Amino acid sequence: MVFEKVRAIIAEELGIEEEEITLESDLADDLGADSLDAVELIMEIEQEFDVEIDDSAAQNIKTVKDIVDYLENIA
């Protein structure tokens, strides 16, 4: 459930097909997200899930799984 929402957000923000996004996808290497994309993704995820991701946690997010794990662990 969390993965599907995260995948939809990433697809929308980066303009790619949801089918291209897996848990193992690296945001930069596999999906082409630059630092600005990463900031916008974090902001969109914070808004969608009504959470606040602190800067230190955000810097450690490299893959889609990192985002999903973070969201599941704060729930």
Q: Which amino acid is at 70?
A: Y
Asked whether the beta carbons of 49 and 8 are under 8 A apart, the reply is no
Q: Which two tokens stand for residue 53?
A: 């991701």
Q: Which of 26, 30, 34, 50 is an active site residue?
A: 34
Q: How far is CA 32 from the centre of its chain?
A: 13
Could you confirm whether 34 is annotated as catalytic?
A: yes
Active site residues: 34
